[in-house]
A = this chain, B = another copy of it.
Amino acid sequence: MFETAELGQKVSKKDFDKREEELRLSLLMAQQRLRKAPFPVIVVFAGVDGAGKGTTVNLLNEWMDPRWVVTRYMGEPTPEEKERPPYWRYWRDQPPKGLIGFFLSSWYSKPLIDRAYGKSKVNELESDLEDIVNFEKTLSDDGALILKFWMHLGKKAQKKRLSKLEKDPLESWRVTERDWKHYRMYDNFVDAAERIIMRTSTGAAPWHLVEGVDHEYRSLRVGEILLEALEERLGAHERREKFLKESPPSEPPSSHLTTSVGKSATTVLDAVDLSQTIEHGVYKLRLKEQRARLNELHREARDKKVGVVLAFEGWDAGGKGGAIRRLTSALDARSVRVIPIAAPTDEERAQHYLWRFWRHMGRVGRVVIFDRSWYGRVLVERVENFARREEWGRAYAEINHFEKQLVDHGIVVCKFWVHIDQDEQARRFEERAKIPYKSWKLTDEDWRNRERWDDYVLSVHDMVERTSTQIAPWTIVPGNDKKFARIKVIETVCDNLEAALKKKRK
């Protein structure tokens, strides 16, 4: 694989100066166009030590407008990063739309090093690479332009480079013991790299091998590949924009509600028994019992570093808020955070839709409760056509992968749809309208959402079908009786947490 990057490519200083000036200008112009484009550019650097990764990124920073570039180097995870699922920090550091992110070391570093050092087995490497492909696909599906550079040196060239640097007393600090260690492990690194590049060089996120011996050659090569990719993508984007402007789609987006269930078939919500109630005295006692139980489980979970993530969805006036408050009052306020999901901020809008949920993931052993969640993508965004068909269509798989990462990190994930019927909702809306301190809760949007009731029913059905997994199941909570719903929620959290702790106790 690497033969093509050991050919001794060179560019003369004179040639370099000429091509550099042109490249610089073109990159700057592309950057200006990118700022208005609705996607980020992700550039990953990996490769043999001494092949000029750092120097190249420094040069790119010099060529381009540094205000619209972010450079990240991820070393060993910090304590704070270790407490979250591994991809938490990669999500956090993604460049927003319109910007370019250079990653000097990235999600590739650990799989590469672990494999080269023999710390991971082949099948572990494969599973790591699976995660990478998934991650990059999620980003590129959302529009991100991803480029990956393997900066290469042959074994002899690496030795020559390290020795030369070491001999110069003012440059020798650039060479560390680790560099020599890796040089001695050269073959291991190259074997691992070959497997990694083969598996992760996808159409949407290709690898480019660049020979790193000659400073002029490698700099121009990286810059020109980057420029070409940028111009191609920007051109495609701008042509599409122009086309849409000149010939707007004549029909409104249709069939966004094509669903897996037939028109008059029974949906998962139709099957809910909403007549279930609980008597007031029993409720009082059960609530007290379950609170005590939850508190005990919660403290054990914190000690054992088992986190909890809860997502609440449901009809307007369904009683999500009341159920959440019954939970939080049983928990240690230091370890719980409720995240109400409102309109995204501009920092959030500039990122993939999952980014704003990733950012709230707490430390190990903590409880994070989302009042509305990432399921908005396949509920309101689908019903209201805020997301395109292909966007919400792929969201199910993205969400499953997202939740799997939480579960793999030892987090218990529970999802609740708090269900009421239309009559009960009407009754509650009227009550809200009447009681002054409740009327603020009732908005025009609530009435509008009510008109889309049937669309929501179908969307909920699909959502449950596609995302109720064994590791992160949905619970549909009969909510016509608020008290019944509250007990059901708190019991379900307790049951799931207990089951997870039981496994840990073994």
Contacts and interface: CB of A to CB of B under 8 A. Distances in A.
B28 A321 contact: no
Interface string A25-64: 1001100100000000000000000000011011001110
Contacts of A65: 440-441
Contact of A329 (B58, B63, B79, B296): B58
8 contacts: A28-B437, A32-B440, A61-B325, A66-B340, A67-B340, A71-B333, A73-B334, A79-B79
Nearest to A102: B333
Interface stretch (A287-295, A408-416, A448-456): A287-295
A328 interface: yes
A171 B66 contact: no
A24 interface: yes
B291 A338 contact: no
- Interface of A, secondary structure class, is helix
A376 B32 CA distance: 25
Interface in A466-480: none
A288 B171 contact: yes
Given A21-B437, A338-B66, A347-B347, A170 B333 contact: no
Interface in A298-336: 321, 325, 328-329, 333-334
Given A25-B436, A61-B325, A67-B342, 4 more contacts: A54-B333, A66-B371, A104-B333, A171-B292
A41 to B, nearest CB: 17
A483 interface: no
A41 B173 CA distance: 52
B342 A345 contact: no
A100 B32 CA distance: 39
B25 A437 contact: yes
Interface in A72-91: 73-75, 78-80
B363 A66 contact: no
A96 to B, nearest CB: 9
A367 B364 CA distance: 28
Interface string A435-451: 01100110000000000
Contacts of A441: 65
Contacts of A345: 345-347
Contacts of A440: 28-29, 32, 65
Nearest to A290: B170
Contacts of A371: 66
